[in-house]
Structure 1
Amino acid sequence: MATKITLLDYGMCNMLNVARALEHAGADVHVTEDPKDAVAAERLVVPGVGAFSECMRAVNCLGHGEAIHQFVKSGRPMLGICVGMQILFEASEEFGETPGLGILPGRVRMIPNTNTDGVSQRVPHIGWNHLIEPQAGRSWEKTLLEPFGTQGPAVYFVHSFAAQPANDDDRLADCDYGGHRISAMVKRDNVTATQFHPERSGAVGLRMLQEFLSR
């Protein structure tokens, strides 16, 4: 029997691409705009693209903020994708200060527009980049990255801002961009979230989604 996934639609994502990827990974996908469906979900996926402030406005307007908080407290598995990861943090500096959901401590800040040698680099960060362990000895065991061992896979990014977790223990994977460590994936208890797009990351992304369905 396929694993049931509730995909939260608040008007700020290409739901079709995410839904297709989840279905390809083996999920029975239910797309909903109803916060009550989110609270009752077996597994919840919160995607997002665009500006942080617009995403938070849509989330709050539709009552999804409280629903996400309630779901997280349930202990059931949740996956955030791209801005769906960023809104889990306390605030973003994109277009001024915008409060987030505060589920994870930390802030969302712009990616540096120069590398560590002071040379200009492109922002947004677009394209394939390898995941790296954020700290020596950090294990990917029992996470969505377990199938990849210590060899960080390449995944697809499109973003100008990135979360900076206040707690290093929340960082599951980073990527290197111009010598800067950018938070690419976070995990705390039942919450996992990716700055990159697993639905656009080919076989690697599908494997991660399969891991989410099975854990």
Structure 2
Amino acid sequence: MRKKIVIVDYGIGNLQSVAQVFAHLNNPVSISSNNKEIMSADALVLPGVGAFGHAMNNLKELNLDKSILEFVQTGKSLMGICLGFQLLFSESEEFGNHKGLDIIKGKVLKFTNNNGLDLGIKIPQVGWNKIYKPVISVDNWNKSPLREIQNMDYMYFVHSYYVEPEITNEILTLTQYGGKEYCSSILKDNIFAVQFHPEKSAWQGIRIYKNWIETI
């Protein structure tokens, strides 16, 4: 049975590439900024690329910030991707300080070393990198859309900032870049969100979308 999935359209990013994956999996989706359509969905996808502050302004102007919060409170599934992952957090330091949706407690920070200086690595991180389980964690891997994905598998990343959740039990995977270990995906109740792009991550990414549909 096909699920009614809506990709949130707030004027940020290439939404069609995500929609094409769902079409490939025989579950076509809607791309919409209509609040009624969003609330009637079985599940939401919040993707995005670009600047955090601009994205939040767009969400607020379209009243989508409230719709997303209300949707999450229904207990229905939400998937965040890349910038959409970061927007779920409390705040970001990208180009100033900006409040996020505050669905997940934590901050979005720039890749820096302990002295606050650039790590001397290429920013943004663009390309393949490994995801892996935290050493000490709640083992949610096999209960998540990552089931059938191997620990230390590669996913495709494009980002300059990373998230730092306050509650470590919500961290599903970690990744290292330039010596910095950071959270690359989370699982919190009905929310699954990733820093990487599953739609650009070969068959493993397609499998993640398929598994997520099955959890709806």
Report the TM-score when normalising by structure 1.
Answer: 0.93
Secondary structure in structure 1 of the residue aligned to 2:18: helix
Tell me if the contact between 1:81 and 1:197 (Cα under 8 Å) persists in the aligned partners.
Answer: yes
Tell me if the contact between 1:175 and 1:181 (Cα under 8 Å) persists in the aligned partners.
Answer: yes
| Alpha-carbon shift at residue 113 of structure 1 (Å) | 6.4
Distance (Å, rounded) in 2 between the aligned partners of 1:175 and 1:192? 16
Match of 2:112 in 1: 112
1:164 equivalent to 2:164? Answer: yes
Distance (Å, rounded) in 1 between the aligned partners of 2:190 and 2:107? 20
Secondary structure in structure 1 of the residue aligned to 2:89: coil
Match of 1:194 in 2: 194
Tell me if the contact between 2:137 and 2:169 (Cα under 8 Å) persists in the aligned partners.
Answer: no
Secondary structure in structure 2 of the residue aligned to 1:95: coil
Match of 1:148 in 2: 149
**Gap runs ≥5 in structure 2:** none
Distance (Å, rounded) in 1 between the aligned partners of 2:22 and 2:48? 15
Distance 1:11 1:147, change over 3 A: same
* Identical amino acids, percent of aligned pairs: 35
| Alpha-carbon shift at residue 119 of structure 1 (Å) | 6.3
Distance (Å, rounded) in 1 between the aligned partners of 2:95 and 2:31? 30
Question: RMSD value over aligned CA atoms?
Answer: 1.6
Aligned counterparts, 1:1-215, within 5 A: 1-112=1-112, 120-139=120-139, 140-149=141-150, 151-215=151-215
| Alpha-carbon shift at residue 42 of structure 1 (Å) | 0.3
Q: Output one character per residue of 1:2-41: Cα deviation in whole Å (capped at 9) or x when no partner.
A: 3321111111010111100121133221111112211221
| Alpha-carbon shift at residue 103 of structure 1 (Å) | 0.4
Name the amino acid aligned to 1:41: A
Name the amino acid aligned to 1:169: N
Structure 1 segments of 4+ aligned residues over 6 angstroms from their partners: none
Q: Output one character per residue of 1:167-214: Cα deviation in whole Å (capped at 9) or x when no partner.
A: 101111111112211211011000011111111111111000001100
Distance 1:28 1:87, change over 3 A: same
Distance (Å, rounded) in 2 between the aligned partners of 1:106 and 1:137? 17
Distance (Å, rounded) in 2 between the aligned partners of 1:59 and 1:153? 33
**Gap runs ≥5 in structure 1:** none
Tell me if the contact between 1:113 and 1:123 (Cα under 8 Å) persists in the aligned partners.
Answer: no
Distance (Å, rounded) in 2 between the aligned partners of 1:147 and 1:102? 30
Secondary structure in structure 2 of the residue aligned to 1:174: strand
Distance 1:119 1:166, change over 3 A: closer
Report the TM-score when normalising by structure 2.
Answer: 0.93
| Alpha-carbon shift at residue 137 of structure 1 (Å) | 4.9
Distance (Å, rounded) in 2 between the aligned partners of 1:9 and 1:119? 34
